[in-house]
Structure 1
Amino acid sequence: MKVSVIIPAYNAEKYIGRCLNSILQQTYRNLEIIVLNDGSTDKTASIIKSYVEVDDRVTLIDKKNSGTYLTRKLGMQSSTGESIFHVDADDFLELNAIEILVNEMIKASLNLVIGNHFHIVKGKKRIVKNVLPENQSKIELVKSLLNNDIKGYVWGRLFKRELINNLDFEAENLLQEDFLINLHVFINNDMRIGVVDSPVYNYIIHPNSANSSKNPVFIENVINFNQIVEKILYDAKFDKELVREFKLYKCRNWVIYARMGGKLTRDKKFVNNFYKENYTEYSVRNLAAYQNLEMLGYRYNYTTGQFLTRSFKKLQEVLF
């Protein structure tokens, strides 16, 4: 089975070498590696070219900047593998990552294999795991996605080509394109999913990560994204069955939005209405303890919420 590895790269000169080395050293060799330079203004393109010259599995596509989703989409359209594996340019793989995923896909006749991952902050690792529902119906999978049992990333998982090759939706100036891809895949396909327990992917958190964005358009679109998800659930006729899960999802999004300084966090009327509608008993029960504390902080006022966010960030750096 040929695996197409898709890597969007924007101003990734500090990380792209480590990323490509981890892919070229994979124990699974039947790879097509497509690196898309998304309008970088640093040395990203020249670094990628040096890899193209020494390994014919690597292809470079230079393009104007268009964001992660459209860049991934071009990479998929340009690929020829039977399955597709996404990697972000600042992350890297465990040595046998792709071999583990391919073996599981073939052995169990799956169309998606999800790898767990390491979450790395300042060199300190912790494992993040995905949990599948016993019943893999479309609605149960979407429920698991909203509940965050299945993480909303596309990297670190092996997709059969037919699941994502023809994705076509608008995703401009969004931080949650990956979640949207998973949502469309789960709703529009009969899924056979497996999870490999071993972490296969190293996800690096650093100041330039997407969730550290200061772009006000991206920030406000975090809260606007709820409307996009709501319409997808409505069109799939899942909205009435997933009311509490969607409210929980909106609370998680609210914490992200508030951390980034979204302007609605200072609108007391909006905040009160949002909490009254969405911060339900189910949401409280299923949010992590630190998320509940942040929810309470931002409900009181923005300054208190920011203090708690900074405190938890420092604690995370110490503990992990």
Structure 2
Amino acid sequence: MCEISIIVPVYNVEKYLKKCVDSILKQTFKDFELILVDDGSPDSSGAICDQYAEKDSRVKVIHKKNGGLSDARNAGIEVAKGKYLGFIDSDDYIAEDMYELLHNNIVRENADLSICGIYHVYDGKTPENKPEKYMILNRNEATVLIFHGNQISDHAVNKLYSKKIFSKLRYPLGKYHEDSFTIVGILDQCEKVVVDTRQKYYYYHRDDSITSQAFSKKHLEYITAWERNEQKVLGRSEVIDEAAHQRVCFANFLVLDKIVNADMEKKVPETKTIVSYLKANYMFIMRNQIFTRNRKISMSLLMISLKFYKIPSMIQNKWINKKNE
């Protein structure tokens, strides 16, 4: 038994893996096991995992055939022995006191979920510092803030979970935005959530990573995920209903931005559906406080023409996607 099980899915990341694993093994919090799940990597990632296991008894390695990120996380959950679970992506890295902070908070507040802030790391750019805030939230309050997306995000990786959350819950196989599909199910298992927005997780955006890729049909799943989340919470409260609907609108905006920035609006049949949905929600979007002034201007331009919308969207997308994907 150990206090924390840290699960790291590994696939084709030989260039980044050592930085990731070293940052975990240097944690000031020591009572953990590190489960490296080699998801059928074609490069030397699997061998690197084995090398770490030989050097440090806290490191456990699972070698499996390729099944995707969700399948790898689920494999780690199955063998985890910790009281708490954490997930790290193998091309990212963490501050040496991240798990100390997350663990101290979850124990002190007797919470089910502990969250910290994220640095978004891009080559050649200094990560943005964000305001520090400490919040203790009930399930409904946390759900609203997750839907809003401007203070806490749905990322799996900057969190410490009570293991009981995953007694039945698993990540969905074959989904492109697995974190978005899973977050409401996670919050539904929580009575109390503690948020410390100090940034301890370094989320590295590779040119070939999911969050940096140009538009593909899989991005449409982002809309599907938040539509399903809206249905899950429908009727819980007016505040949650509004927050959920705002997030669905926001998902449509983000996907539309990817489409038009790739000049694929004429090649993607779903573009018309997205535009129609946003136009139908024009008044809701204009009245909602979460949407920025620039976003509302873009929405007004979309009411005229997609060609008008496309001009500010291409400019706006440079920083919106970096902050919210």
TM-score class, shorter-chain normalisation, is 0.7 to 0.9
Equivalent residue number for residue 25 of structure 1: 26
Q: How many angstroms apart in 2 are the aligned matches of 1:209 and 1:2? A: 31
Equivalent residue number for residue 243 of structure 1: 241
1:143 touches 1:245 (CA, 8 Å); kept in 2? yes
Deviation of 1:86 (Å): 0.9
**For each residue in 1:48-92, what CA deviation from the matched residue of structure 2 results, as whole angstroms up to 9, or x when unmatched?**
222122112112212222222222121111110111111111111
1:286 maps to a residue whose letter is I
Change (3 A) 1:27 1:138: closer
1:205 maps to a residue whose letter is H
Equivalent residue number for residue 189 of structure 1: 190
1:244 touches 1:283 (CA, 8 Å); kept in 2? no
Q: SS at the partner of 2:128?
A: strand
Unaligned runs of 5+ in 2: 260-264
Equivalent residue number for residue 290 of structure 2: 286
Q: How many angstroms apart in 1 are the aligned matches of 2:82 and 2:228? A: 31
Deviation of 1:217 (Å): 4.0
Deviation of 1:98 (Å): 1.0
Q: How many angstroms apart in 2 are the aligned matches of 1:27 and 1:270? A: 47
Identity %, equivalent residues: 19
Q: How many angstroms apart in 1 are the aligned matches of 2:181 and 2:320? A: 28
1:254 maps to a residue whose letter is N
> What is the aligned length?
311
Q: SS at the partner of 2:118?
A: strand
Q: How many angstroms apart in 2 are the aligned matches of 1:10 and 1:283? A: 44
Equivalent residue number for residue 256 of structure 1: 254
Deviation of 1:7 (Å): 0.7
Equivalent residue number for residue 161 of structure 2: 159
Q: SS at the partner of 1:221?
A: helix
Q: SS at the partner of 2:281?
A: helix
Equivalent residue number for residue 262 of structure 2: none
More off after superposition, 215-224 vs 10-19: 215-224
Q: TM-score, normalised by structure 1?
A: 0.84
2:285 touches 2:291 (CA, 8 Å); kept in 1? no
Change (3 A) 1:105 1:247: closer
Q: How many angstroms apart in 1 are the aligned matches of 2:247 and 2:157? A: 20
Deviation of 1:273 (Å): 3.8
2:88 touches 2:157 (CA, 8 Å); kept in 1? yes
Equivalent residue number for residue 275 of structure 1: 279
1:83 pairs with 2:90: no
1:115 pairs with 2:113: no
1:223 maps to a residue whose letter is I
1:92 pairs with 2:96: no
Deviation of 1:230 (Å): 3.0
More off after superposition, 15-24 vs 106-115: 106-115
1:28 touches 1:99 (CA, 8 Å); kept in 2? yes
Change (3 A) 1:239 1:299: farther
Q: How many angstroms apart in 2 are the aligned matches of 1:111 and 1:270? A: 36
Deviation of 1:245 (Å): 1.5
Change (3 A) 1:288 1:205: farther
Deviation of 1:144 (Å): 1.7
Unaligned runs of 5+ in 1: none
